[in-house]
């Protein structure tokens, strides 16, 4: 299927519009519209299939170290190998263009017990075209082969949508259409998405599907969305933290679904909520450097509009009987805990009084909510530094406590997953996602970009039959 620049512009306008393009669509609506991997069962042996892989990984010395995302792809790749497809895996590693997928290709080979070559140079940025040597190597591959293309972020076209505005699209659309048509004409018109964590507006994730005849969700990602993700939708308790206050948008959307009854917060998110609660209750709260305009260029800065947003959330939540459990003390730069932040202080963790409060309120939640679900995302401080790890460490034990009491506990991957691995183990909770940011997208305020693209591609393909 060839996509024109005009069609690509309209496609990208939908992506940039996010929720406003289809405000009534739920996560389930997107998933219902996207075919499963099994829908491709009729593809003949020798077919080339593009696989957007979850390859942003750092494999360690042995299988099982730093390769959870790669292991999540095995079932999808084995499905294709059993049918004799030639699977071309592509994706990014890190944010820098010089990152290489050489170790990823090697580990995939170890997982699949076959040779998985890496094509280091496969694309020309200037002409926006697939290099002949790359397409020839793929064409010559044997049925059942798995090939990895080097880091897609090596090429400028991959990231042009990251900061794009609608006004930029007339200039970008011809380039993105050329990219999509190149992959379709020279590699494949069948596209399998197997990268749960790939939530950014990378061109190969969200623009390339526009030129595909057939699309499908990979095995692992399909299961993640349709099972544990849906369970998270029913969570009565959410624990949120993070350095950036924009997580308030996700929390607001999650609360808005009407299931959540208890909100535990830390990090900058909690600073905004704590400031807001103080203003609502007539008890002014200083949140230190986070409200100092001279720090407005820092990620932890809380602008006034975020405090107003937090006030609306708390006021509305209180009317609905939602309990907000917020820190009552903070650990500052020298490692000491203070009840009140001074204007120059920056909080790096919750303090011991907050941990004790959280423990007490978790006990109350357990007693009143047998068999409920809880969702945790993020860490409570700069836990990489021993001075600021205690809040996170103690909270991980509360996750285990809830699990042991019969609560289904879901952890949103990313730093939360890393903290669980550091202070406990995966069996302390019901499920750990491999992609924190994508989980927040799915549960929060905006649709996951690749689900928007895949739904559009599936509908487009159905309309042309």
Tracing tokens 């807001």 back to the chain, one arrives at: 276
- At residue 300, the pLDDT reads 86
Please determine, for residue 254, whether its predicted confidence score (pLDDT) is greater than 90: no
* Widest CA span in the chain: 72
Please determine, for residue 161, whether its predicted confidence score (pLDDT) is greater than 70: yes
Give the predicted TM-score (pTM) of the model.
Answer: 0.86
Q: Provide φ and ψ at 349, rounded to 5°.
A: -170, 165
What residues contact residue 118 under an 8 Å CB cut-off, 6+ apart?
101, 102, 105, 147, 148, 149, 150
Nearest to 363 by CA among 407, 393, 330, 327: 407
Task: Give me the DSSP letters along 34-73.
Answer: SPBGGGGTTPPTT-EEEEEE-------SSTTSS-HHHHHT
Q: In 10 A of CB 370, how many CB atoms?
A: 9
Going by DSSP bridges, is the β-strand pair 373-377/214-217 parallel, antiparallel, or unpaired?
Answer: unpaired
What would the pLDDT profile of 281-324 be if each residue is shown by its tens digit?
999 999 999 999 988 888 889 999 999 999 999 999 999 999 99
Tracing tokens 């010089």 back to the chain, one arrives at: 98
What would the pLDDT profile of 16-33 be if each residue is shown by its tens digit?
999 899 999 988 999 999
Please determine, for residue 243, whether its predicted confidence score (pLDDT) is greater than 70: no
pLDDT, mean of residues 394-414: 93
Q: What percent of the chain has pLDDT over 70?
A: 99
- At residue 418, the pLDDT reads 83
Question: Is the separation of the CB atoms in 61 and 106 below 8 Å?
Answer: no
Across the chain, mean pLDDT equals: 93
Rounded Cα–Cα distance for residues 34 and 44 (Å):
21
What would the pLDDT profile of 206-219 be if each residue is shown by its tens digit?
999 999 999 999 99
What would the pLDDT profile of 171-205 be if each residue is shown by its tens digit?
999 999 999 999 999 999 999 999 998 889 999 99
Please determine, for residue 242, whether its predicted confidence score (pLDDT) is greater than 90: no
- At residue 438, the pLDDT reads 77
What would the pLDDT profile of 83-124 be if each residue is shown by its tens digit?
999 999 999 999 899 999 999 999 999 999 999 999 999 999
- At residue 370, the pLDDT reads 87
pLDDT, mean of residues 154-164: 96
Rounded Cα–Cα distance for residues 362 and 403 (Å):
11
What residues contact residue 342 under an 8 Å CB cut-off, 6+ apart?
286, 288
Confidence tier at 152 by pLDDT (50, 70, 90):
very high
How many residues does the structure list for the chain? 465
What residues contact residue 78 under an 8 Å CB cut-off, 6+ apart?
112
Rounded Cα–Cα distance for residues 11 and 1 (Å):
14
């Amino acid at each position: 299927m060839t996509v024109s620049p005009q069609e690509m512009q309209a496609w990208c306008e939908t992506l940039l519009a996010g929720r406003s393009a289809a405000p009534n669509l739920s996560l389930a609506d997107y998933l219902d519209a996207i075919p499963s991997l099994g829908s491709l069962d009729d593809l003949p042996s020798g077919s080339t299939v593009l696989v957007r892989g979850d390859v942003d990984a750092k494999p360690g010395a042995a299988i099982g170290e730093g390769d959870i995302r790669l292991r999540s792809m095995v079932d999808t790749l084995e499905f294709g190998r059993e049918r004799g497809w030639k699977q071309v895996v592509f994706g990014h590693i890190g944010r820098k263009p010089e990152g290489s997928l050489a170790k990823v290709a090697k580990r995939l080979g170890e997982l699949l017990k076959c040779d998985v070559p890496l094509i280091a140079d496969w694309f020309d940025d200037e002409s926006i075209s697939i290099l002949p040597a790359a397409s020839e190597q793929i064409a010559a591959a044997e049925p059942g082969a798995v090939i990895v293309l080097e880091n897609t972020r090596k090429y400028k076209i991959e990231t042009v949508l990251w900061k794009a505005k609608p006004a930029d699209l007339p200039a970008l659309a011809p380039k993105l259409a050329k990219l999509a048509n190149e992959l379709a004409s020279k590699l494949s018109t069948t596209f399998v998405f197997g990268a749960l964590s790939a939530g950014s507006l990378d061109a190969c994730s969200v623009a390339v599907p526009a030129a595909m005849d057939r699309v499908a969700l990979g095995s692992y990602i399909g299961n993640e969305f349709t099972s544990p993700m849906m369970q998270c939708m029913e969570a009565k308790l959410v624990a949120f933290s993070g350095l950036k206050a924009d997580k308030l948008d996700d929390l607001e959307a999650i609360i808005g679904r009407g299931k959540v009854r208890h909100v535990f917060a830390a990090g900058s998110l909690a600073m905004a909520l704590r400031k807001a609660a103080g203003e609502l209750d007539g008890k002014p709260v200083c949140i230190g450097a986070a409200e100092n305009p001279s720090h407005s260029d820092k990620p932890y800065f809380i602008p006034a509009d975020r405090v107003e947003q937090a006030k609306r959330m708390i006021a509305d939540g209180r009317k609905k009987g939602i309990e907000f459990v917020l820190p009552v003390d903070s650990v500052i730069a020298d490692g000491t805990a203070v009840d009140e932040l001074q204007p120059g202080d920056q909080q790096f963790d919750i303090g011991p009084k907050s941990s004790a409060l959280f423990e007490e309120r978790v006990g109350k939640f357990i007693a009143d909510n047998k068999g409920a679900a809880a969702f945790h995302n993020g860490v409570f401080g700069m836990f990489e530094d021993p001075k600021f790890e205690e809040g996170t460490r103690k909270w991980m034990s509360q996750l285990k406590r809830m699990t042991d009491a019969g609560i289904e506990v879901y952890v949103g991957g990313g730093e939360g997953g890393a903290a669980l691995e550091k202070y406990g183990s995966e069996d302390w909770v019901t499920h750990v996602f491999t992609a924190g940011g994508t989980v927040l997208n799915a549960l929060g305020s905006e649709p996951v970009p690749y689900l928007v693209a895949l739904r559009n591609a599936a509908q487009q393909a159905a309309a042309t039959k």
